[in-house]
Structure 1
Amino acid sequence: MPTTAPKTASYGAWKSPITSDLIVAQAITLSEVRLDDGAIYWLEGRPQERGRSVVVRAGGGGADVDVTPVPFNVRTRVHEYGGGAWFVDKGVLYFSNFADGRLYRLEAGGVEPQPLTPEPSGQSGGWRFADGIIDGSRNRWIGVREDHTAGGEPVNAIVAVDLAGRGGEPGNILVGGHDFFSSPRLSPDGHRLIWLAWDHPNMPWNGTTLYLAELDDAGAVSGEPEIIAGGPDESIFQPEWSPDGNAVLFVSDRSDWWNLYRFELATLASRPILPMAVEFGAPQWVFGMSTYAFAGPDRIVCTYSEAGLWRLGVVDLAADTLRTLETPFTQFASVRADGERVVAIAGAPSLPASVVEFDLRTSRHRILKKATDILDQTDLGIADYLSSVEAVEFPTTGGNTAFGLYYGPRNPDYKGPASEKPPLLVKVHGGPTSAASSTLNLGIHYWTSRGIAVLDVNYGGSTGFGRAYRDRLRRNWGVVDVDDCVNGGRFLIERGLVDPKRMVITGGSAGGYTTLAALAFRDFFQGGASHYGVSDAAALARDTHKFESRYMDWLIGAYPEEEELYRERSPLFHAERLSKPVIFFQGDEDAVVPPNQTEAMVDALRSRGTPVGYLLFSGEQHGFRQAANIKRTLDAELYFYAIEVFGTGLTF
């Protein structure tokens, strides 16, 4: 807490204790909570260990325990984005190791994981595994396998891996015939299997099909699988069996909103549960996502999004009623339940992502692990430097409304000159089918504590606002998203909150594309940063991984039939229109947006004398996980803006 009057200094030149060193030293990522026999597990991503992901078990009053030993990295590259790389059953851990893609088993209390699948051989990519469950009666792992051994496009299937094997077999195919699979779930009696499947050009938030099949005594699919929900124009998310095995619950957007539904096996019919204009689902970019869980035979605990903020509730399935729980959190993920106990990843604008345990009897909660404990270190006083968040709605093109989260500058040690407005950094989320998170992000306060305002835009195409809002981006990528980012900035200018002459835009992946498109096709921003962003839409259609290889059909149009439209939307082919400073960040192992995308744009801009920065990081894929690289990226982007756009002193 400052003891002197704040100094007057130009916005953007304030000195802040929220440094890149502090951020990377303190922060981890938390994901994928699991409950097993009363124990709570979660996955930690550790930048300080070169991004290694570790399964951790809650200490139950003592110290938390790392379950997976060094050097194992619990991560899968199925769909490249992964998720669902591990599962715990009766204390035994089953996981995919990132280095070799193999499945491993680690006995309870064990120290040496044992391989269940073969090593990759030769130059092939081998096999990748995700989204597994255990079929205890048949002693096997059931999950999604992505086969890279034949070259060309990998083959996806649902397979069974014998747990009695010694790592010699990659599993037997149970279900194939579609481009993609997820969510295999075994009925409580082990006689039925459900799963999701979809085909090119759909993504899972565009159209998926929910299948049900009988299993014979040996565990093979018997007869023709039955379609019980979904199709090419309906998105199904997270199918689950009821505890008695008489029904299947799932989330569908057939009403325009991702709502809960119940399919009764007795009647072979589905009915909605509490139809509402809110979202009970989310885009399935990764495996293992969970927005609801059974907390008894006739009760589920769920999380739902309304106007971009999430809440936690309990649904009485017999009465079709929803009771919303009062919590301090505005973001939830990975919801699991066991009777009166619920665990989830939760966060809020002033609370970091945390593993949280909720008691349904008392409505109390307990934080088990935080992504950062920096706010607990009172000697640092970091809480005093956190900007509050304001959910904003603003008018945009076509008479529509768009949304965002606004963070004004805050630093108790400084104030800006009366004659000056702060610079604005417009932050563009990836996906583009994703959403801005309301969880505390020190990377945002890195900017606001230096006197730079931030607008995190939920442009048309973002999730959390219904399917019609998502569909605004259909064939309009590079138009609607750009318009909404520009109009968000104009909205703040009209409110007198920011300086129109010091506006920058930044984004990663799809957000990097929007950044480059905004700089090339609109004369509004004075600079920007592309983090592993797309510059040539046609090259992305030709040269990306299987999961997204036809996503561009929906975002722009059919390729190569509409190649001219791709060229029209690609910043690379309009580099002469991009005269503002840009800095680029790229991982050299990125299979989603390969380095040649960034390097072609860098070369085009440099040849025209445009101010350009370029940092290529060795050993990084799509998104940076290593502490040194995260630190360097933050500082380099600030340095670049300070020199090329803001005209301020350095404030590290």
Structure 2
Amino acid sequence: MANTPRGGRWDSPLTAEAVAAAAGGPSWPSVVGAETWWCASDTVDASVRLLRCASPDLSATTADPAHDVLGGPWKVSNGAIGYGGRAYLVVPGADSGDPHVLVFTDGSDHRLYAARVAPLPSGATSAAEPVPLTAPDPDVRTTCYADPILGPDGTEVWCVREVTRTDGGAERDPAEITTRDIVAVPLDGSAADDPDAVRVVARAQHFLTCVRVSPDGARLSWIGWDHPDMPWDTSELMVAELEAGAGGPVAREPVRVLGGPDVSVPQAEWADAATLYAMADPDGWWNLHRVTVDADGSAQAACVLPMESECAHAVWRVGATSFAVTGHGVVFRHGVGDQQLVLWDPAGEGSLTELAPGWTEFAVGVSGGADAVAVVGASSTRRPTPLRVELGTGAVHPCPSSDGSDGSADEFEPWYAKPERRTAPGRDGRTVHFTYHPPTNPQYEGTSGEPSELPPLIIDVHGGPTSTTGAARSLTLSFFTSRGFAVASVDYGGSTGYGRAYRDLLRGTWGVVDVEDSVSVARFLAESGLVDTGRVAVRGGSAGGWTALAALTHSEVFRCGAVYYPIADPFTWYAGQTHDFESRYQYTLLGGGPEEADAFYRRVSPLLAVMQLRAPFVMMHGLDDTICRPDQSERFVAAARALHGEDVCRAYLRFPGEGHGFRHAASLAASLEAELALFTEVLCAQVPA
């Protein structure tokens, strides 16, 4: 026992290459008749594939594997608002044997395509060759299409079109050169050669999502917001009557039916020709509301299921959904901490029926049909998996991978940490939420316990910052915990999932509250006797990279840090220095633009505080990042090395072809190896090998 390696030096078979290869995950699940469809990111070739499987044959001994719908070079994705949006629509055939019509956006050229796909089971598991529905872009602009739906008469696909001019220079304010409309694209392919065949159905707010047509085809709804608001602060649910236009239906003047100043509406869905269900937070929690639209266009809205529990999401992607209206009622996920997927029957006096018990995390992207819903579920023991839930029976079917496996276990099973949701006391008496991932390795169980054997701690900071950490199995964090590190993922003030009051804690305090809460969690775990107070690191990317840099420059708790594509200088992460969606985000995070809040910008800027940096770090950035440009890292690294010597930045990895968030396995693996080398060297320097 005396020769047992201390935490941080344990041997683990969970290599960086294995983690990177499995890092891609499922998204955008859909119910298509008896089939379930979803997108799957693949880090091996940085692709986004569209997969599907048939409903399981319960008498079969093995599951039918998932089928790649398109194959070849197709990348089912888009870059709407910088983070992408729902990229496909499947229109089932009129009869059971008729082919589906698939409409999708390709991430390589941004165009809309259509393909006919035979239903499963079928000998032809892949689609026919896709044909373009829209024209290629000229050199002076880039076009994205997102969140496609079927138009009222079935001859068009309606979606959000985002157009960005590219002829104005790299430093133009993106808000001035970007427009968004709700457009109709003919399914006959006529717009592939004639861009004017794409017609505008509605022009409204600067940002648009959740475009929906009422079941009778008479009304159009959408959610929108304008600068400087962010959708989790203020957004509006709009409804417009449809009338005949020159080329087809167009929207009349819209009416706001829910939302407005300091009320957020993330999603709305039609239940019938006069009724919408929507999530909104006028009472401080995203809860379910019913909106009734009268014949004269007036509307009444009421919360039908009030609870102090978050039932929706922050809108980071166009078309994101947290609930579905089905033939059995409304299915949604909710929960502070562990989540539940539930069915609410409006005729059942508000009763809730839990679906998918045992699954405790549900990703954005709940989608439903009449009798089933699809959602990506996960838990502390299961990785994210597309699920199909039959509402009539309650049966839950995990969708298989391409080899027929349901992903419930693999060769690394004993080395995965089982995360636990916890809270810590924060500054001024507030509660800080976090998820604890304990050191986990079957070869070293029970070897610690003495104070001198307490493990080193890594504070993991999520991005956003208006986002959240989960409590699902994490391969990335298990890479560290299987080597004897403890990891705490912090839901600092400003995170989602805990109501508006918690979310608003970061308004005008970015770089302060997030750092204080990260420090509070580290100290709490040390005082609880779970970690070594002298061996603490911090890691984070994007907004989490900002917090990591702020923690390294404004706190003495952290001995080293790993930083991915961060904001380092708030004075230049603004307007023309970033993308349109977040170009005014500082108004809420920092109390205004650089001119209005100059003093606070100077107080919290990691770049201006680089003189106070005492701990070494590693930095990783993609050279194609347009959200946090590479010069954010470049200038911080240069300043740190000029003031503190070359050794303060132990590695500075720059990856051609990578944007905001790495897509290639090689980039992910190299970054993890750089992190591990730093953490082992600094946190385990005086620990016997």
Aligned partners of 1:516, 1:27: CA distance in 2, in Å?
25
Partner of 2:527: 494
Aligned partners of 2:268, 2:544: CA distance in 1, in Å?
30
Partner of 2:624, secondary structure, is coil
Partner of 2:508, secondary structure, is coil
1:85 pairs with 2:122? no
Match of 2:276 among 248, 272, 277: 248
One-letter amino acid matched to 1:239: A
Aligned partners of 1:646, 1:9: CA distance in 2, in Å?
11
Match of 1:261 among 279, 289, 292: 289
Partner of 2:269, secondary structure, is strand
Aligned partners of 1:567, 1:350: CA distance in 2, in Å?
44
* Contact 1:119–1:126, Cα closer than 8 Å, also in 2: no
Q: Say if 1:359 and 1:582 are closer, same or farther in 2 by CA, change over 3 A.
A: same
Partner of 2:565: 532
Partner of 2:675, secondary structure, is helix
Partner of 2:111: 102
Partner of 1:189, secondary structure, is coil
The C-alpha deviation readout for 1:215-265, integer Å capped at 9, x for no partner, is 1134443532111011131100111000x3220110001110000000112
Aligned partners of 1:631, 1:371: CA distance in 2, in Å?
23
* Contact 2:210–2:320, Cα closer than 8 Å, also in 1: no
Partner of 1:454: 487
Partner of 1:58: 53
* Contact 1:202–1:232, Cα closer than 8 Å, also in 2: no
Aligned partners of 2:370, 2:314: CA distance in 1, in Å?
27
Match of 1:384 among 414, 426, 441: 414
Q: Say if 1:223 and 1:385 are closer, same or farther in 2 by CA, change over 3 A.
A: closer
* Same amino acid, percent of matched pairs: 35
Aligned partners of 2:687, 2:27: CA distance in 1, in Å?
38
Partner of 1:200: 227
Aligned partners of 1:624, 1:649: CA distance in 2, in Å?
33
**Shift of the alpha carbon at 1:338?**
2.7
**Shift of the alpha carbon at 1:313?**
0.8
The C-alpha deviation readout for 1:538-564, integer Å capped at 9, x for no partner, is 110141000000011100022222223
Partner of 2:400, secondary structure, is strand
Match of 2:326 among 277, 281, 295: 295
Aligned partners of 2:352, 2:656: CA distance in 1, in Å?
49
C-alpha RMSD of the superposition? 2.1
Partner of 1:544: 578
Partner of 1:504: 537
Which has the larger displacement, 36-45 or 204-213? 36-45
The C-alpha deviation readout for 1:28-77, integer Å capped at 9, x for no partner, is 3100001223321100110112x210111114453322112321111111
One-letter amino acid matched to 2:483: R
Aligned partners of 2:291, 2:674: CA distance in 1, in Å?
53
Partner of 2:508: 475
Match of 2:262 among 221, 233, 236: 233
If the length of structure 2 is used for normalisation, what is the TM-score?
0.89
The C-alpha deviation readout for 1:578-626, integer Å capped at 9, x for no partner, is 1210111100110110000000001011112151021011101100111
Q: Say if 1:648 and 1:300 are closer, same or farther in 2 by CA, change over 3 A.
A: farther
Partner of 1:619: 657
Aligned partners of 2:555, 2:35: CA distance in 1, in Å?
53
Aligned partners of 1:596, 1:400: CA distance in 2, in Å?
36
* Contact 1:134–1:141, Cα closer than 8 Å, also in 2: yes
One-letter amino acid matched to 1:413: Q
Partner of 2:332, secondary structure, is strand
Aligned partners of 2:251, 2:438: CA distance in 1, in Å?
60
Q: Say if 1:6 and 1:206 are closer, same or farther in 2 by CA, change over 3 A.
A: farther
Q: How does 1:301-450 map to 2 (within 5 A)?
A: 301-306=331-336, 308-318=337-347, 319-325=349-355, 327-333=357-363, 334-369=365-400, 380=411, 382-414=412-444, 415-416=447-448, 418=450, 419-450=452-483
**Shift of the alpha carbon at 1:136?**
5.1
* Contact 2:382–2:408, Cα closer than 8 Å, also in 1: no
The C-alpha deviation readout for 1:485-539, integer Å capped at 9, x for no partner, is 0000000011011111110000010000000001101111001011101100111
- Unmatched 5+ residue regions in structure 2? 57-63, 93-99, 119-126
The C-alpha deviation readout for 1:256-285, integer Å capped at 9, x for no partner, is 000000011247211111100001111010
Q: How many residues align?
A: 640
**Shift of the alpha carbon at 1:94?**
1.1
Partner of 2:640: 605
Partner of 2:153, secondary structure, is helix
1:143 pairs with 2:159? yes
**Shift of the alpha carbon at 1:137?**
0.7
Aligned partners of 1:337, 1:100: CA distance in 2, in Å?
30
1:209 pairs with 2:236? yes
Partner of 1:156: 180
The C-alpha deviation readout for 1:315-363, integer Å capped at 9, x for no partner, is 0112222222361111113222334422210000110000112233433
Aligned partners of 1:190, 1:529: CA distance in 2, in Å?
52
The C-alpha deviation readout for 1:377-397, integer Å capped at 9, x for no partner, is 66x3x2222222221111111
1:280 pairs with 2:311? yes
One-letter amino acid matched to 1:41: W
Aligned partners of 1:452, 1:458: CA distance in 2, in Å?
19
One-letter amino acid matched to 2:276: V
Partner of 2:607, secondary structure, is helix
* Contact 1:103–1:129, Cα closer than 8 Å, also in 2: yes
Which has the larger displacement, 165-174 or 531-540? 165-174
Aligned partners of 1:305, 1:268: CA distance in 2, in Å?
29
Q: Say if 1:320 and 1:420 are closer, same or farther in 2 by CA, change over 3 A.
A: same
Aligned partners of 2:237, 2:324: CA distance in 1, in Å?
18
Aligned partners of 2:292, 2:3: CA distance in 1, in Å?
66
Partner of 2:195: 169
Aligned partners of 2:256, 2:406: CA distance in 1, in Å?
49
One-letter amino acid matched to 2:16: S
Aligned partners of 2:578, 2:22: CA distance in 1, in Å?
34
Aligned partners of 2:340, 2:38: CA distance in 1, in Å?
21
